[in-house]
A and B are shown apart, each in its own frame.
Chain A
Amino acid sequence: NAGVTQTPKFQVLKTGQSMTLQCAQDMNHNSMYWYRQDPGMGLRLIYYSASEGTTDKGEVPNGYNVSRLNKREFSLRLESAAPSQTSVYFCASSEWGGRGYNEQFFGPGTRLTVL
């Protein structure tokens, strides 16, 4: 099993450009998440999808959109990138609901720089 995969690994954008970060999981989890990690600020939740067909805002959703394409895939889109969105982005998945807890499995991250 590959677990959680993310593409691309690295990306440099100019201010105002758009891009989509891709995430896929092969563990048949029902929940998926997007976080950003900035120095000294831990992980902040951008959006999550508790189950296929639903998405909800997290702590820092402004400037981002998401799509839960199917149970495996959850993408994050930056419509007009800004330097403040320079960060490392992590996708995660978990099995939540039936068992009630949400140990999360993380991808390797995407390092995004916005100039």
Chain B
Amino acid sequence: AQSVTQPDIHITVSEGASLELRCNYSYGATPYLFWYVQSPGQGLQLLLKYLSGDTLVQGIKGFEAEFKRSQSSFNLRKPSVHWSDAAEYFCAVGETNAGKSTFGDGTTLTVKP
């Protein structure tokens, strides 16, 4: 069965610093991979996705992620964090033969002024 691990429950960074959120997945075939963001009291919003092709994908709000098959990872990065990036971030793997995804437990990002 597929699974997603986000090793960091909580990360704190200073505004303007770089950010990397880790995601490792387990899936038997080539995965579809997603990062979502959730602001307090809101639903989830898609940041970016990897379906195939270029392993470095760009998303909204200046985020990017790199798919590394050899490491079963899909880490999210941003070169300079803004206070408005404080939120909870979820990595997900989409099954290619069924209409559903598996989500990680999430990483909460706090941004220090």
Contact = CB atoms under 8 A, between A and B. Distances in A.
A31 B103 CA distance: 17
Contact of B101 (A40, A100, A102, A107): A102
A115 to B, nearest CB: 22
B46 A103 contact: yes
B98 A42 contact: no
A51 B99 CA distance: 9
| Residue among B95, B96, B101 having the largest count of chain A Cβ atoms under 10 Å | B101
Contact of B49 (A41, A103, A105, A108): A103
Interface of A: 4, 30-31, 33, 35, 40-43, 45, 48, 50-51, 58, 90, 92, 94, 96-97, 100-109
Sorted nearest first, the 8 A-B pairs with minimum C-beta distance are A106-B43, A50-B99, A96-B99, A42-B105, A31-B99, A43-B103, A106-B44, A101-B32
13 contacts: A4-B43, A42-B103, A45-B100, A90-B44, A92-B44, A96-B99, A101-B32, A103-B34, A103-B49, A106-B43, A106-B44, A109-B41, A109-B43
Given A101-B32, A101-B94, 7 more contacts: A45-B102, A101-B49, A102-B32, A103-B49, A103-B94, A104-B44, A106-B44
Interface of B: 9, 32, 34, 36, 41-46, 49, 51, 90, 94-96, 98-106
